[in-house]
């Protein structure tokens, strides 16, 4: 039974061909494309308003050099939100529950922010490893600690997204299994459990959106330190 709970996180395949590429590409296909008319429909207007508000909020603390990342961060945000939300549908696969995918997104983007800081302002970038006013005996220890914390950042990005989505999916499957087991024996308890399942599903929708926002927000904070 415990093994079957984790089967939902296995990458699906058909005739030995992994289908994770289709799961990754599907959200981009579902986005509505703006028409050639002057007036857009409500869905495209809502999508444009959301992306505009998110981009303005995200780039507010960044200087002009960081605004070059607007398209990348907005696209990453929309990709993570749609992938996380589609994964809540029954009989679907969530690519963002795979640590390899999340690390593949986190490590290159984190490295890009570090390289930008080292290229544009190496003194300021290296100055983050040693806080101002540090006592001389603590300088070697603090440099080691700050260096470790710097390299842990991409790991924290990937593990946070993976752990939150995986825990939510496991809870939903556990409670849904309990509802089916309790329904013929104790209908009232099953109804109460189904209510908890419904509330948990609403919570997971919020978690899917919040985790996507946190992932992109932390990347923007790392970028803010280096531009």
Q: How confident is the model at residue 6, as a pLDDT? A: 64
Confidence class of residue 202 from pLDDT cuts 50, 70 and 90? very high
Residues 78-97 have a mean pLDDT of: 85
Query: Domain spans of the chain?
Result: 7-226
* Percent of the chain clearing pLDDT 70 (strictly above): 92
Query: Which distant-in-sequence residues (6+ apart) come within 8 Å of 109 by Cβ?
Result: 72, 76, 219
Residues 160-176 have a mean pLDDT of: 89
What are the tens digits of pLDDT across the range 122-140? 887 787 777 777 788 878 8
More confident residue, 164 or 16: 164
Confidence class of residue 2 from pLDDT cuts 50, 70 and 90? very low
Q: How confident is the model at residue 155, as a pLDDT? A: 93
Angle between helices 42-59 and 187-226 (to 10 degrees): 50
pTM score: 0.83
d(CA 53, CA 214): 16
pLDDT above 90 (res 215): yes
pLDDT above 50 (res 209): yes
Residues 192-199 have a mean pLDDT of: 91
Per-position DSSP letters for the chain, written without gaps between them: -HHHHGGGGSPPEETTEE-HHHHHHHHHHHSPPP-SSSS--HHHHHHHHHHHHHHHHHHTTS-GGGGGGHHHHHHHHHHHHHHHHHTTSTT---GGG-HHHHHHHHHHHHHHHHHHHHHH-HHHHHHTTS-TT--GGGHHHHHHHHHHHHHHHHHHHHHHHHHHHHHHHHHHHHHHHHHHHHTTT-HHHHHHHHHHHHHHHHHHHHHHHHHHHHHHHHHHHHHHHH-
What are the tens digits of pLDDT across the range 144-155? 888 898 899 999
Confidence class of residue 8 from pLDDT cuts 50, 70 and 90? low
Phi, psi for residue 17 in degrees, rounded to 5: -100, 120
Residues 32-57 have a mean pLDDT of: 78
């Amino acid at each position: 039974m415990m093994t079957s709970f984790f089967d939902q996180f296995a990458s699906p395949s058909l005739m030995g061909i992994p289908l994770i590429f289709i799961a990754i590409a599907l959200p981009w296909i579902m986005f509505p494309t703006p028409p050639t008319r002057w007036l857009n429909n409500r869905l495209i207007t809502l999508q444009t308003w959301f992306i505009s508000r998110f981009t303005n909020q995200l780039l507010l603390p960044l200087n002009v050099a960081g605004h070059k990342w607007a398209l990348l961060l907005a696209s990453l945000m929309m990709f993570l939100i749609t992938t996380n939300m589609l994964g809540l549908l029954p009989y679907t696969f969530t690519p963002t529950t795979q640590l390899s995918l999340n690390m593949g997104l986190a490590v290159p983007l984190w490295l890009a922010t570090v390289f930008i800081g080292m290229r544009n302002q190496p003194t300021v970038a290296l100055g983050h490893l040693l806080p101002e006013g540090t006592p001389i005996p603590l300088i070697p220890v603090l440099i080691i600690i700050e260096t470790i914390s710097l390299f842990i950042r991409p790991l924290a990005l990937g593990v946070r997204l993976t752990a939150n989505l995986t825990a939510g999916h496991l809870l939903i499957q556990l409670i849904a299994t309990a509802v089916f087991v309790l329904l013929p024996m104790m209908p009232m308890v099953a109804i109460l459990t189904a209510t908890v399942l419904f509330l948990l599903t609403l919570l997971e929708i919020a978690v899917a959106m919040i985790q996507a926002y946190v992932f992109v927000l932390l990347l923007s904070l790392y970028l803010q330190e280096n531009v």
